[in-house]
Structures are given as structure tokens and as C-alpha cells.
Amino acid sequence: MPEHDLILCNGQVVTLDSASRTVEAVAVTGGRITAVGTTEDVIGSKGRTTRVIDLDGRTACPGFYDTHAHMDREGLKARGGYSLAGRHSVAAIVKAVKSAVARTPKGEWIIFMPMGTPKLSYISRPDQLEEGRFPTRHDLDAVSPDNPVYIRVPWGWWVHRPFVCVANSAALSLARINRETEAPYNVEIVKDNGEPNGVFLDRSYAPVIEYTLFRCAPRLTFEDRVAGCRLGAAAYAAAGTTSIYEGHGLTPAILEAYRRVYEDGDLTVRVNLPLSVPGASVDDQRMVEILDEWSGRLAGRGHGDDMYRIEGICVDVANDKAAAIIGEDYPYEALAGHFYHSLPHERFVEIGVQAARRGMRLNCLICYDLERVLRAYEAIDAQVPIRDKRWVMIHVIEATPDQIHRMKALGVIATVTPNFMYMASDRFNLHEIGETAMPIRALIDAGVPVSLSSDNVPYSMLWTMWEALARWDADSGRRIGQSNLTREETLRMICQTGALVTWEEDRKGTLEVGKLGDIVVLDDNPLTCEEDCLKDIRVEHTFLGGREVFGPGMVDPGPIDGPDPE
């Protein structure tokens, strides 16, 4: 037997194999697992160059698989402007602006990330600041009379609505915003005595303010996106995530950014990436041309290797008004990383049929419109069978027994984001739907595979596992029903089902001989710790094919935010 490259021993190695074994040790050689068993048996093949880590009772399990990650977006937080993290008063925000002005040439834009602190403490209400109000143009003007200042809105799922941005007078002048300016769809221009006071409230989950009022503000560049992918991968690896599937789809620019990071040798998470097609921006003829252009790379199991693979396409049934606004600015994608759609039934079916005929798998966001998407999938299946193609339904929020039965008949895989329950009153009326929201138990019992996803709110899969079990609504301070899930079932949904989504169940998801050596080492056992401790378990090592991509002495860049202006 060849010498092992890596041995983890004297621990609780949760294999998640078919027998649900927990053993003492695991070894990796050449990127693959080559031994699993007792410490005595595995350590016997230690060589002179073998790295041996004594777990000292700690837990190792398969690396986490996030099937709706938005990993690039997390990294973009470091490129989208100066940080306002920890500033909980107007005075502190103004001080940060003053510091940024001191290092910025006169006349240049100064951009800030949203008010508040990642990951769950962005500001959406005035009472979250000490003065009980948002800063205004006048506050910012006092320290920045000559530089346009713009404080971005958060992305729509980072915080409660409304999403707040602030601009000073110089920025308002460049944007040509005055008392006569009409507010775009779902945006409020806050005024004092009829004059805009610099505060704007955007109520669209996909914020439109940078596509409308502030189109003149500096935009994210391709180099920003490359850096975002690199930083995001480092952050997710530090959280124990070893694979992602970007179910929402990514624009060609983001696909290329990931490829750059991969070729530079800086990709620390395995990525599986569908293409986002611009449904709200092109006509049917152009859509067919796009499918033809990409089908050679996206059909079947896609194109790439174990680290970087592109496959399939994504559409959604988003708000038609927001989609129309954002679609006009194609191909710019702001913080989204994907394009927008608002597909009527006939067009949805036509796109799906065209994709199916080319062997391209479809992913679709469901949210509150499962019936509409089910009818479209069934209509597509009537023309081109999809039942063995593992098409994906993303963000399953609520489903009747009949709908779940039809999902099973179509052979789809469901991805669910339990983290939405944490801010239930602002997420699809989950507080009103109650215990039937996020029907994970019912889907599993019906034989529909379920994979859990973070959606970057926050990006910890251990947090996601905890929320799936606890179903905790921080708004009301109570559980939204009971999960009726076991710890092992939930751990399998963050480690294993993602591999089913990407046709990799023979290579990922368990710690067995022959599988990829993607392993995370934790300071507590997610199967036995107190439930409320799950979300706070510390990741100590992350291995990708036996290569350490996070561990002691390595910097955890997250939760990511922009540079401090001071």
C-alpha cells in the first residue's frame, strides 16, 4: 500500500456511509480517500512525508456542499466600497466619511458598502442608529462638500426591507436628482419640505436604485468580480464549504472570473456553475442563439473538471416590473451575478423545450410560485422527457402533497434555504405560512431529494443546518413549527445531496475509500452537540482532495466587508 499523504486520527470521523459509521481515522492519498477505520489500522501506512493530524477527539466529516451559494457576491463586499461595519450612529458614519475624504482627490466619488455590519446586522430602520434617524445629505455635506458620496443599498436578502442608501449633495447633483425627480418603481425618495434629503428607500428584493437614480455611480468592474470570486472562495473554505452549485446561475462575466481564479491556482472551493440567461433582456430569437452558442459546453454533464465545471442554465419568475428595469441595463449585473426574468408560461415552456432538446438542464427559482413552475416543467416534459435529467427547483418555500407528488414524478431535485426563516416576516410571509413553510420533511418522505443552501444569508452551512432543525424566527422569537428531522438527515443534506445535484455521488458526500478527500474538521460534533450550539461550531481545518485550504495560521477573510476608511 502506498504511503498516505494525510492522516486524521484519534477523532470522531463521521463517514455518512450507508451504514452511518463513525470511525477513528481517515487517510488521503493523491486526492482520494485511501483508508477509513481505527487509528491503529490507518496509522500503519504512515510514511516519512505523511502529514498526521491528531484530532484529539474532534470531529471530521465530509466537506459541506452549498447548492445556492452566491460565493462571488460575498467576495464583492470587499470591492464595493469602504466599510461602515460597527458604526451604529450618524456621528460614526460621518466620521468614516470624513476619513475617506482625507485620502480621496477632490471631485472623485467615494463609495461605501451598506450601513451596518455583516453578516446579519445591516441597517434598515432609523431606530438602529443612536440618533434614531438615518444620516442625510446635510450630514455628509459637512465633511464632504467637494466629493460625491454614495452609501450603497444592501443586497435584497441581506436584511429587512426597506433597503437604505444615502447620498450627499454632490452625488445628487451628478445624478440630477431634485424635487422634480420621479421615484422609480418601489423606490422612495425621502424629502424634507419637498427637497430630497439624500435618503432613499428601495423595496425591491432585487434593488433597482443603481439601475435608475444612481446609474452614474461607479460600477463594479470585471477585476472586482475576479477579486470577489477569489475572496469569496477563501471565506467559504474557512466555513467548511468544499463544493458549491450556483443554482441561481451566473453571467458569462462571473463564469470567466471563476475561470481566471482557477487558472491562477487560487480556487479553494470546487465550483459547479449553470449559466444565467438574460430572459428579460433579449427576444426569443436571441435566446435560441444563446442556447446554441453555449450548448456545446453546458449540455449533459457540462464542461470542466473536478474543480471548475459549467453545466445547465437558470431562469426564474421574478417580479416583472423590477425585471424590466434591470433588463434595460443588460449586461450589467451589479451585486447580483445573474440576469433577471419574468417569464410568462408560454415563453417559459419554449425556453425549457429549447434547452431540453439541446440536452441542457434547467434550474428555476420557485419562491412563492411553485404551481406556475410545476405546470411549465410538466408542459416541457410532455414535449421532451426530463424525468431522468435531475432538473432543479430552487427555493421551495411551500408545497401541497399533490405538488410534491408531481415533483417526484418529474424526477426533480429541490433546494431549500432554511435561513429565510430567520427573518420570517420579510421572507415570503413565512411567519404566516407557519409550520408548513420549508416542507423538507414532506419532500424527503415523498422521495424528492433535498439539498440545503445558504443563499449567502449567511453563508455558513452549519448555520443552515441549525436553522433547518431549529426553524427559528428572530423576528418573533419563536420556532416556525417543528422540523421533524434528525441530525443525521440534516447533515446529509449539507454534505451529500449536493453531489446528487451535480451527478457526483460516486465522488463526493461520504468518507469512503475512493471518494475525493474533501474533509472538514470541527471543534464539536454536529450530531451530538446541543442544538443551539450547531450554528457556532468552529471550523478548524478544511481539506480539498487532502490539500489544506483552511487551517490554523490561515486567514479567515469572512464575514467580508470593504476596507475601513480610517
Please report, for residues 128, 141, 238, 516, the alpha-carbon distance to residue 468 in angstroms, rounded to integers and kept in the order given. Answer: 28, 46, 21, 27
Dig out the grid coordinates for 351 from the structure.
Answer: 425556453
Burial category of 242 from C-beta neighbours within 10 Å (exposed 0-12, middle 13-18, buried 19 and up):
buried
Q: What pLDDT was estimated at residue 120?
A: 87
- Count the Cβ atoms, other than its own, within 10 Å of residue 125: 12
Q: How far apart are CA 94 and CA 39, in angstroms?
A: 58
- Span 66-84, pLDDT tens digits: 999 999 999 999 999 999 9
The secondary structure of residue 86, as a DSSP letter, is T
Ramachandran sector of residue 429 (left: φ over 0; alpha: ψ -120 to 50; beta: rest): left
Nearest to 413 by CA among 456, 366, 465: 366
Looking at this protein, which amino acid is placed at residue 443? Answer: L
Upper half-sphere CA count for residue 518 (Cβ side, 13 Å)? 25
- Count the Cβ atoms, other than its own, within 10 Å of residue 478: 12
Length of the chain: 566
Contact assessment for residue 366 and residue 338, using Cβ atoms and an 8 Å cutoff = no
Q: How far apart are CA 446 and CA 392, in angstroms?
A: 16
Dig out the grid coordinates for 427 from the structure.
Answer: 421572507
Q: How far apart are CA 316 and CA 353, in angstroms?
A: 15
- Span 362-418, pLDDT tens digits: 999 998 789 999 999 999 999 999 998 999 999 999 999 999 999 999 999 999 999
Q: What pLDDT was estimated at residue 292?
A: 97
The secondary structure of residue 534, as a DSSP letter, is G
Q: What angle do CA 325, 331, 332 make, to 5 degrees?
A: 75
The secondary structure of residue 206, as a DSSP letter, is S
Q: How confident is the model over 179-207, as a mean pLDDT? A: 97
Helices then strands, counting H and E runs in the chain, come out as 17, 28
Contact assessment for residue 384 and residue 357, using Cβ atoms and an 8 Å cutoff = yes
Q: How confident is the model over 125-147, as a mean pLDDT? A: 98
Dig out the grid coordinates for 442 from the structure.
Answer: 414532506
Burial category of 511 from C-beta neighbours within 10 Å (exposed 0-12, middle 13-18, buried 19 and up):
buried
Burial category of 479 from C-beta neighbours within 10 Å (exposed 0-12, middle 13-18, buried 19 and up):
middle
The secondary structure of residue 113, as a DSSP letter, is P
Q: How far apart are CA 402 and CA 321, in angstroms?
A: 31
Dig out the grid coordinates for 183 from the structure.
Answer: 421615484
Nearest to 224 by CA among 128, 334, 138, 357: 334
Q: What pLDDT was estimated at residue 1?
A: 60
Q: What pLDDT was estimated at residue 434?
A: 87
- Span 264-323, pLDDT tens digits: 999 999 999 999 999 999 999 999 999 999 999 999 999 999 999 999 999 998 889 999
Q: What pLDDT was estimated at residue 341?
A: 87
Peptide bond into 105 cis (omega under 30): no
Q: How far apart are CA 210 and CA 206, in angstroms?
A: 10
Q: How far apart are CA 431 and CA 439, in angstroms?
A: 14
Mean pLDDT for all residues in the chain: 96
Bridge partners, residue 189, by sequence: 200
Dig out the grid coordinates for 247 from the structure.
Answer: 443554482
Q: What pLDDT was estimated at residue 507?
A: 97
Residue 468: phi, psi to the nearest 5? -60, -35
- Span 465-522, pLDDT tens digits: 999 999 999 999 999 999 999 999 999 999 999 999 999 999 999 999 999 999 999 9
Dig out the grid coordinates for 365 from the structure.
Answer: 427559482
* Those residues with Cβ within 8 angstroms of residue 396's Cβ, 6 or more apart along the chain or in another chain: 366, 370, 414, 415, 416, 438, 439, 443
Q: How far apart are CA 550 and CA 240, in angstroms?
A: 8
Bridge partners, residue 51, by sequence: 6
% residues pLDDT > 70 (the chain): 100
Confidence tier at 432 by pLDDT (50, 70, 90): confident
- Has residue 2 got a pLDDT over 80? no
Identify the helix (H) or strand (E) that includes residue 187.
strand 187-192
Q: Which domains, from first to last, does the chain contain?
A: 81-211 (no CATH), 222-550 (3.20.20.140)
- Has residue 64 got a pLDDT over 90? yes
Q: What pLDDT was estimated at residue 270?
A: 98
